[in-house]
Structure 1
């Protein structure tokens, strides 16, 4: 069965904002035809892209149907609920939550924190007999993916133990039989990659809330006296906050000759991992690493992100201390981790330079490093172009230059005179036909600047007041026939930015009929040739570019005798 990956893109909803590219700590996003999609083999499933996407185009795979099928196909299915439930369902006592889950069909509800306590005891034993060694927790699947794919040389430092969830599933099967089904509920998307022999389905808290709604759970009639099986957790409930696992291990191993460190958030973890294998240590080092800042209480599938201090306090106050020191582990929870290196090709300066040329960056000063594309530097973006993870249109400055060049080319190709002025009647742009039509001083000024940029319109033509009126009134279109140097000119003035920028089209309607017909034909040819360009400019510039198409139509209509 070709299932969706845990995180995927709904392409029809993607708005080309590249926010997910900026947010992804490992840049596991590629842009294809303007749509940003996850690269499965490079993704560490931290879920940050699902949090930052402004339109919700980054989706989490819906596995709710799998849980329902499991309940239908297995006589006994147990729910394993992550310890962060105390903040996710903070206003709900545990007994009601357990009863509601049993209403859905579960035989019993157990705390994943029980598995955490087993892992803590096993870690304590490992630390006691591994002097001068660095050990990194295996509790967070996103961190494990990060190490296996991007820090393969640190794979040997991962504690050779199951995650708390897998350990909990092993515990439940030992307690209730190998034939039971197990469904996990928590704030983590990466847990979906842990399903297999140990447990069957991983759902998020969002899925659970939706399931309750679908089944119409009536909280007012829920029995609040239900309890967790086989027993309630203790210090394992601290795991969803940063430092919680360290505290759990200390409860099992009160020795003081171990250095405990904890880091949360992928950026902080990546910085912590730098040169960690090159430093000599005199004591064992245990590093707790959680992908989500502040811990699992801020996972990508929580209903209310943030308020970390409040959530942390809730976890600390709701978690009972260990009733005894755990000094033995009766479960077999060993696990191996292997490098799955992401091969990143090294690009030569010549290759990077060629890629930069594709986005019109010829000199160092052209490299603005604005970050609009989602990459920190223009050179990082150039590398992404070479790896086919990015498209030139993602570069804002390149797109602006391209648009300006196309607009300028369109204006120059037009058979009518065109001029664009600002609110001070200073010329922003014009074409050669405009200079030819108005003649006089314009021809002299154009020798210094062919586009007349910066020249004052009132010094070049006598009918500049028409432009001043259009700017003052904000008129969308103003059409007048005027006499100028023995010619009759049809002037069409249109608003580009109301009261700030207007454009004018000048047509000499006194030219011979034959020549006029030639102009009509040429204008039609220009319209046909530049239709694609006009449509693209209209897409990029909105009204301003769309006016260019209106402008061309106006020329054809005027010269076709509709005077």
Structure 2
């Protein structure tokens, strides 16, 4: 099941999630980030750090509502960090608000934590493990099983408080009871679905989802009818969600022998610890380990901002110490064993020749070209090249390379275009001057960049563009001093408040047009002369024809009369 999803429309190809992911379980495909479910440790860092809020979390709210609608008995197991993540005056208000949502009852998960601590203490008394790593954090459990499997035998073989509590509730209220866990952790959703214990918890909600549900139903803590929790006080076990909370519960449990206690939190520190343990640097230590900095209270689903995290810790600590004198009784007996295994995937690692070939495609032909800037999200250029080979990254995720390539292409286009291109700022200073402009205006780019446009040509059109914020297109201008006629387009670029002039040299075209006009005029003049001569010749011919016709007429008339009248 995919716990973390992606809203594709919001993903802006910024690689922020790749940068912050502690295990690089995010691939970029078609310029979109995508979670690699099998490699993800569900720490939620990408959720918190995504600047576009493009990441989503699978929700069980609809499932829980359906359980209630069908008439099933639904009990809420609430993580003890609720006390620092919700704003209420009295815990009975919280319980009342949950019952108003439709839960049969509310019970603190800390009740299950009491059994977990007792089991940890028993293992410490057995004194048979090299080190004992706490296994309450499902995100850390995934980290070790997937990436540091050599440490599996140092993980406490104990279920988490959530699983223990689910078993307790179903044992107490019957197997038909539905148990819903609510907490600040998204990895709990995956833990609940784990086939090793997938019958104890029927649904998982984050505090953020729970808060949104309350808002949707218009239920407030202040107006909620008071109600009691199903379980008795959990005492010191309420400390579990803050740093050193598990250690405090162990001390409260009793003698811990000569075990050295260590608390580690935060993804970076967790990874550093695992590496140190792989090197054999620790011995006979009980290690409380949390993926979230300062403990579960800062989980990605807590619904609180970073400003309140310190106050939350104080609030939870004060609540835990209200009745922390003695360790609670454990009247029930439940299975606590958990088996952790090597779940690592073996990725293909390319050879040196392949790595170098990949790097060469983005202009990195040697170690001196490898900036290792981390802009792609990977710590080194080589790590990114390996990710490309494994299909996790795209070749052109390299920001320096893309910047250089874009600048190179831009410079190439500007330099090689046959049209004169001049860019000026609002003060009419020349800020770009291409090769065609150098040839036309017979001045070097270096010299031109020291001048204003009016020192070379009439600047009135540029000034008009800045004043009106409107572009001028295809205006014919003649620069007599340079002997050229240009078709001028000046474009206003509002974002940069600059104007770009593009001048097409039409001197030859204009000369051809003028030459063709002269040729037509000369041809017309010659044609007119021919016409005039033809008219004169026609008139002369007509005159001669007129005289001949008159004589012919007279002769024929005389001949006719002689015939008719028998004249001599």
Q: Which residue of 2 aligns with 1:137?
A: 134
Contact map agreement 1:121 1:327 (CA 8 A) in 2: no
**Residue 20 of structure 1: how far off its partner (Å):** 0.9
Q: Which moved more, 1:251-260 or 1:503-512?
A: 503-512
Could you report, residue by residue, the CA deviation over 1:319-361 in whole angstroms, capped at 9, with x for unpaired residues? 1315247699832111111111032333333222222222222
Q: Residues 132 and 156 of structure 2 are in contact (CA less than 8 Å); yes or no, is this contact kept in structure 1?
A: yes
Between the aligned partners of 1:495 and 1:291, the Cα distance in structure 2 is 53
Counterparts in 2 of 1:78-477, with a 5 A limit? Answer: 78-131=75-128, 133-195=130-192, 196-224=198-226, 226-279=227-280, 284-306=284-306, 307-319=308-320, 320-324=323-327, 330-412=333-415, 414-420=417-423, 428-431=432-435, 433-438=436-441, 441-442=442-443, 452-456=444-448, 464-466=456-458, 470=462, 474=466, 477=471
Shift of 1:221: 3.9
Counterparts in 2 of 1:457 and 1:244: CA distance versus 1, 3 Å = closer
Task: Confirm or deny: 8 A CA contact 1:265 1:294 kept in the other structure.
Answer: yes
> What secondary structure is seen at the aligned counterpart in 1 of 2:297?
helix
- Change in CA separation of 1:242 and 1:462 when aligned onto 2, cut-off 3 Å: closer
Query: In the TM superposition, what is the alpha-carbon distance from 1:486 to its structure 2 partner?
Result: 3.1
In structure 2, the partner of 1:521 is none
Per the alignment, residue 32 of structure 1 pairs with 29
Contact 1:471 1:498 in 2 (8 A): no
Q: Which structure has the greater CA radius of gyration?
A: 2
Q: Tell me the distance in 2 between the aligned counterparts of 1:311 and 1:221.
A: 23
The 8 Å contact of residues 252 and 327 in structure 1, kept in 2 or not, is answered as no
TM-score for the superposition, normalised by structure 1: 0.81
CA distance in 2 between partners of 1:9 and 1:467 (Å): 52
Q: 1:276 to 1:247 in 2, by over 3 A?
A: same
2 CA distance for matches of 1:19 and 1:496?
Answer: 30
Contact 1:426 1:453 in 2 (8 A): no
Cα distance in 1 for partners of 2:168, 2:401 equals 58
Equivalent residue in structure 2 for 1:483, among 476, 479, 485: 479
Provide the secondary structure at the position in 2 that maps to 1:511.
Answer: helix
* Residue 457 to residue 123, structure 1, CA distance change in 2 (3 Å): closer
Give 3-state SS (helix, strand or coil) of 1:125's partner: helix
Q: Is the 8 A contact 1:292 1:298 kept in 2?
A: yes
**Paired residues, number:** 499
The alpha-carbon deviation at position 482 of structure 1 amounts to: 2.6
Match of 1:75 in 2: 72
Q: Look up the SS of the partner of 1:80 in the other structure.
A: strand
Which 5+ residue runs of structure 1 have no aligned equivalent?
443-451, 517-563
Structure 2: gaps spanning 5 or more residues: 193-197, 514-568
- Which residue of structure 2 lines up, in the alignment, with residue 61 of structure 1? 58
Alignment partners' CA distance in 2, 1:459 and 1:265: 57
- How far 1:487 moved relative to its partner? 2.8
CA contact (8 A) 2:125 2:257 kept: no
Counterpart-to-counterpart distance in 1, 2:189 and 2:280: 35
Change (3 A) 1:125 1:406: same
- Cα pair 1:121 1:326 within 8 Å, conserved: no
Label 1:79 to 1:404 Cα distance change in 2 as closer, same or farther (>3 A): same
**Other-structure match for 1:542:** none
TM-score by length of 2: 0.80
Q: What is the CA distance between 1:189 and its match in structure 2?
A: 0.2
Structure-2 change in CA distance of 1:413 and 1:118 (3 Å): same
Task: Give the aligned partner of residue 556 of structure 1.
Answer: none
- Counterpart for residue 543 of structure 2: none
C-alpha distance in 2 between matches for 1:340 and 1:498: 52
Paired with 2:2 and 2:511, the residues of 1 have a C-alpha distance of 66
Partner of 1:503: helix, strand, or coil?
strand
Residues 459 and 474 (structure 1 numbering): CA distance in 2 closer, same or farther, change over 3 Å? closer
Instruction: Decide which moves more: 414-423 or 13-22.
Output: 414-423
SS of residue matched to 1:341 = coil
